[in-house]
Amino acid sequence: MEKIGFIGLGIMGKPMAMNLIKAGYSLIVYDIRSGPVKEVVAAGAKEAKSSSDVASQSEVVITMLPNSPDMKKAVLGENGVLEGAKAGMILIDMSSIAPLVSKEVAAEALKRGVEMLDAPVSGGEPKAKDGTLSIMVGGKKEVFEKVEDILKVMGASAVLVGDIGSGNTTKLANQIIVALNIAAMSEAMVLATKAGVDPERVYQAIRGGLAGSTVLNAKVPLVLDGNFKPGFRIELHIKDLANALDTAHEIGVPVPLASGVMEVMQALKVDGKAGDDHGGIIQFYEKLAKVEVRRQKS
């Protein structure tokens, strides 16, 4: 079994690491916070002192970090992955970052004989826990094939979509669709509720038709309970949309709907809701319409 290093044990990273341990992989882990490290070590992982320490003991290193600067620091910075990496190591960055940063870091890694894949995920905390994430991968086919079994422990699917950076481009496309789905659901459910129709019945009536979606099934039940505990925080979706807008504008793609939802999320951030789940986008519409979409008490 390969020795796998795992850096970044947050909402997503911790359950992903746990699934690798359950599958029998030998794991060496690091995070700047000691709490999640202790939990994963209790499940059978070994603790490392730094990202460099992780790399020095690993054949494959997985990074799962919040944004481009965090990933660059963990890999290229002092005591970073490349300081400890041996030639032949494979770096799988599963963070959602800017595609250009993936390309930049991959080029630096290659100078040390380290191959890199960018492999962001979709599915949020529930799918991270049950190992059914969708994983979109950019990089060389032969490198992908070497680690495909590892990825399949964490995801129901792992698809090679193109060269390095294309995994994150695919994730940006995914995040536009998810954000717009949640906004559309929000507008529709607020309309139905204010019109006096039970939102739970509206959901049951439309979920099997063309308006049905994974987003609808994942988010409406939580909204009905007023549960905005983060599976994926609004502030992280803002980060993804910022990367999407930057990339779109660089290559000449107008994205008016994504820009509109970005402003909705910015308004929620100002309202102190940046740490809420992105299903909490509905609160923007609820506030404007002066109605809450909640389960009706029988």
Active site residues: 171
Alpha-carbon span 45 to 115, nearest angstrom: 24
Alpha carbon distance 256, 274 (integer Å): 22
User: Given the DSSP bridges, would you call strands 115-118 and 90-93 parallel, antiparallel or unpaired?
Assistant: parallel
Asked if 73 and 80 count as a contact pair (C-beta separation under 8 A), the reply is yes
Q: Token digits for 138?
A: 């950019």
Report d(CA 266, CA 243) in Å as an integer: 15
**What angle (nearest 5°) sits at the alpha carbon of residue 15, between those of residues 245 and 177?**
25
Query: How long, in residues, is the chain?
Result: 298
Pair of tokens at residue 259: 């820009």
- Helix, strand, or coil here: 111? helix
Q: Are 175 and 278 in contact (CB under 8 A)?
A: no
